[in-house]
Amino acid sequence: MNASRSSLEQVGPVFNAEQMLVVRQNTREVIREIAGMVRPGMVEEDAVEGAKKLLASRKMLRGWHPVYVRFGANTTKTFGEASEPGVVLGDNDIFLIDIGPVFEQWEGDGGDTFVVGHAPHYTKCAEDARRIFAQARRKWLDEGATGKSLYDFAVAQASQLGWRLNMDLSGHRLSDFPHAAYYDGPLADIDFNPSPSVWVLEIHIRHPELPFGAFFEDTLLRD
């Protein structure tokens, strides 16, 4: 990519790093709250509606992307892809959450994967998504890795652990709303070390043969 770092990391006049951290914290809290209301026997569409109500109760009314709560085989779906309707969460199952709320003028984004019951293969998938995220973030911190090299590394780590990394979900900007005014492309395309607080690292892994996957995303931040 030939665009300069300064152009791709632009922010607007209301950008506030402290407020971005507040929204990030709120986003992580809401993800945990959504996960806490999900139960076996629930239909995925009801979980999505419940998530929307929780976000509204936290005054995170507007999202810059749809609310995703995906059950079972729908955890393999990529961003923007519709879930298969009517999927019911089983007693031993997996689900993921991906929300992109806007609080006042600042964007949040976060995702995580959860397992109900006893399902070691699902648990490993969820843990490995977090592990790959942590490893890639450490590479960013310790080596000043570029966006492209972060995802080259994540692809290799996923393969080593027995998963396929979904490169349709390969990171993006975050800022005062809307970040698309500054850069709407993937983190995986940038050839510089991304700055903290304004980029999201996304890890979506899928089983190479079976219909399940896991997702984890968070803002790139210093320790």
For the stretch 126-179, pLDDT in tens is: 999 999 999 999 999 999 999 999 999 999 999 999 999 999 999 999 998 888
pLDDT at 70: 98
pLDDT at 3: 73
Classified as helix, coil or strand, 95 is: strand
Q: What is the CA radius of gyration of the chain?
A: 17
Give the whole-angstrom CA distance, residue 24 versus residue 153: 25
Number of domains present in the structure of the chain = 1
* Contact status, residue 55 vs residue 61, Cβ threshold 8 Å: yes
What is the tens place of the pLDDT at every residue in 61-118? 667 788 999 999 999 999 889 999 999 999 999 999 999 998 888 999 999 999 999 9
- The CATH number linked to 88 is 3.90.230.10
Average pLDDT over residues 180-191: 92
Q: 54 lies in which domain range?
A: 5-219
What is the tens place of the pLDDT at every residue in 31-58? 999 999 999 999 999 999 999 999 999 8
